[in-house]
Amino acid sequence: MSKLSNIIGQKFKRLTVISRAPNSRYGDVRWNCLCDCGNFTIAYGQSLKKGSTGSCGCLRTIVGRANAIDLTGQIFSRLTVLYRVGNVYSGKHVQWACQCSCGNQTKVTTQKLRFGHTKSCGCLRIDSSTQNATTHGQSSTPEYYIWCGMLARCYDPNNKRYLRYGGRGIVVHPSWHQFENFFADMGHRPTPGHTLERIDNDGNYEPSNCRWVTQHEQLLKRRRYREGFCIRGHLLEGDNVYSKRAQGIECRTCKNARGRKSYYLAKLAVA
């Protein structure tokens, strides 16, 4: 036999060589060894002499336990560490029993706790998905429809009332591009009969220029135009009088120009 037979009975760290084992398929010499923990293992001769193999694997576990950080009682997001369970993944990682704030218990390794990879028993992911899928929750309310109509009048050229709003340069306050901000400023309508009104008819949609009013209040506002001018500023004289179907609102000039883009562009140029 080769000189390697002389290592029978020798001890390398926690391993004691007891006999020759069959060579590996690549011809490497291997030995049967008894570990101090009582387990048997097969080790390469070169690994034993170099010191890269010194146990059946228990040494790594013992060193890991000695160097392990005690996480008992610490809180990581929703998890509170209760006690140490043991080692997993061939003894490379320490596992802990944790109590989640939702009431469930789970087992998590030290690395996943300390690096924030695991923050709950799984309930956090469910709660986050539910929260992301839910916005303001008011997409079916009258206030939401009014907000959509306001944006359409100011920014959608295909809207039939665009020329009277966006076409005249009326815009919506930047913060009101989000419904949550609009609702925070305006709140609920006092009654189902209230609508959104701009205090200054030539001003923008913004918190300082908007309020909830009834249709009666809007008609009272429009009456100020009856003294010599229609609602769009046309002089009421001669044949230019109020249209019978829109008394107090549109004059004949408005009626004849309704739907004609040139009229609104001209009105915008005058403004």
Which tokens sit at 232? 């769009």
Claim to verify: residue 85 and residue 163 sit in the same structural domain:
no
Q: Could you tell me the pLDDT band of residue 151, with boundaries at 50, 70 and 90? A: very high
Same-domain check for residues 76 and 54 = no
Same domain as 200, residue 115: no
Q: Are residues 181 and 252 located together in one domain of the fold?
A: yes
**Domain count within the chain:** 3
Whether 79 and 109 map to the same domain: the answer is: yes
Residue 94 domain flag = yes
Is it the case that residue 124 has pLDDT exceeding 70? yes
Q: Please check whether residues 55 and 76 belong to one and the same domain.
A: no
Q: Which residue has the tokens 């004849």?
A: 256
Instruction: Answer yes or no: do 149 and 244 share one domain.
Output: yes
179 and 257 share a domain? yes
pLDDT band at 111 (very low <50, low <70, confident <90, very high): confident
User: 């080692």: which residue's tokens?
Assistant: 87
- Do 112 and 23 fall within a single domain? no
Measured CA to CA, the distance from residue 254 to residue 229 in angstroms comes to 11
Looking at the domain assignment, is residue 171 inside a domain? yes
Among residues 18, 41, 61, which one ends one of the domains? 61
The tokens of 198 are what?
A: 């701009």
Residue 136 domain-assigned? no
Number of H helices, E strands in the chain: 9, 10
Q: How confident is the model at residue 121 (pLDDT cuts 50, 70, 90)?
A: very high
111 and 37 assigned to the same domain: no
pLDDT band at 270 (very low <50, low <70, confident <90, very high): very low
Contact by Cβ (8 Å): 110, 94? yes
> Tell me, what's the pLDDT at 186?
92
The answer to whether position 37 is within a domain reads yes
Which stretch of DSSP H or E encloses residue 35?
strand 30-35
Please tell me whether residues 23 and 79 are part of one structural domain: no
Range of the domain at 10: 3-61
* Max intra-chain CA distance, the chain: 130
Alpha carbon distance 175, 181 (integer Å): 6
Say yes or no: 201 and 262 in one domain: yes
- The per-residue pLDDT of the chain, averaged, comes to 80
Using 50, 70 and 90 to split pLDDT, how confident is the model at 228?
low
Q: Could you tell me which residues come within 8 angstroms of residue 153 by beta carbon, excluding any fewer than 6 positions away?
A: 159, 161, 162, 164, 165, 166, 170
Last residue of a domain, one of 124, 152, 171: 124
For the chain, the first-to-last Cα distance in angstroms comes to 109
pLDDT above 90: residue 221: no
pLDDT at 246 over 50: no
Q: What is the pTM of this model?
A: 0.39
Q: Is residue 178 part of a domain?
A: yes
